Structure 1
Amino acid sequence: MSLGRENFAQEMSLPDQEIDLAKAALYIAQEENPSLEVDYYLKQLDQWAAQVRSLLPVERYPMRVLQGINQILYEELGFRGNEEDYYDPRNSFLDQVMEQRVGIPISLALVYLEVSRRLDFPMVGIGMPGHFLIRPEFEDAGIFVDAFHQGEILFPQDCQDRLQQVFAQPIDLQPEFLEAVSKREFLARMLTNLKLIYINHQDLERALGVIERLLLVFPDAITEQRDRGLLSYQLGRIPSAIADLKTYLAHSPDASDASMIQLLLTQISDQSE
């Protein structure tokens, strides 16, 4: 097991509220880049938070804090959404996002969350379909931040408009779309993005590695076990494929794809005899 995987597994052994999102995200990147110095990037986040702190008045009302974070991250440091190459896997690696100052909504949201946390201004991730947002972590905040679009402040109607832009069709904003996500859900969404990118690039080895980490986040994610089985089969790892696909069918005998998986499993078993 790589150092990055070991570190990530250790972080995932903690209760959700104790998980350090920045560390966990850097451990994901460390698997891609074993020489990555995690502490360097954590200190960089500390430094950016200190820059914001120097701008803030004694009375830290929420909009002033958000304006301060936006000034440092977007105006001075030049962070921006990567519209030109949205599906570049580097957009999902926190070290690369911090170095290049570009990313996708969830990775930029992570930078924003980590800076705000260091200012004792806690914020939470909002797993809106198709476009990740964040908001201050207090009751009835009523405002959301779009880290991908220069820290733009949104109200619920703006979230509805953004949703329609993303899906290019009328879509109703459901209350659950604006609910806060847990730290594990945050990391799972980051990893799922990366998994889909690798599968689309036919980089099955890396996709399999991402699924392994998804199963560290949510060990009972049965569809991830199914996908691990399918990728293992494509990579010629037959015993692993059979074990995972059998587990999937045992847990989800009535799944819509159960008959297809059963057929594949029969074929694999016949081939391996």
Structure 2
Amino acid sequence: MADQKRCERRFLAEIEPGHRHFSPLRAALALSQAAEPGRLPSQVLLPLLQGLPALDERLAGMGKPYQKFEALSSYFFGELGFLAAGPAENGLAVTELHAVVTRRRGRALSLALLYYDLARRLAFPLRALAQPGGVLLGSHWLPRGHVLDPADGAVLPLDAARHRVELLISGRRLAFQPQRLNPLSSRQLLERYLVAMRIVYQAEGLAEEALRAADWRVRLMPRSRAARWDRGLLLYSQDRYEDADRDLGGLLGRTGRPRDDTPERPASTAKEARENRAAVNHLLASLSGEVDA
């Protein structure tokens, strides 16, 4: 528990926009820890809640989920007039939600948090809607031409996202399953962001940033086997075998993989080393699907 509190204090120290390691994602996680469980502070949302009773009545009269989605998105992005801030705009970090609400302009992550909290207050089943177009917002850390869906953390090319939204709005192929309509909590939503961030950084060859995202996911979900497995595979790909072995439950040690401190071996054993790594890769791939969160 002491270690967890120490991690949280360090985390909270890094949410200031002026900090050299500042990240909107870290700020959002700190916000979710400080706020009411599953909710953003009511005083932040108060200016947005006045129109919710009328919107709730409108939603009650709509039978199809995509109609409700259109009504909610119209309220948030139309009547309230929220816009995504450009990467060059300052003073719109996720920690400054009062300013975001006042100016109706903010980063993708801050808008997603506001949008999702409004949806939860309406008991609106966003989770069943694969790619709600209103929250498919670009973010400055995503690859050019891609967007992130806050519902499940998926990183999508713009063309694929547009196609999914068209299917959603038209009502075609929309699998509406009432038993699965459980909106994500703030903690689950932020875990999806961390997974997406790790994928993006790894694809861009930014190894340290990818590892940082995987590490924060473990800190956020310390009991998640999937989070530790994901970090372990990343460490393994970076040849950090001792650290990887701890996350992978000693699997590398059981397969005979050399330790980080193993002395250089003769060139004649290079083929053996490649074969060992290939065997471990095959084993890891076969086990990845069996790891549960």
What is the TM-score with the length of structure 1 in the denominator? 0.48
Larger Rg: 2
What is the TM-score with the length of structure 2 in the denominator? 0.45
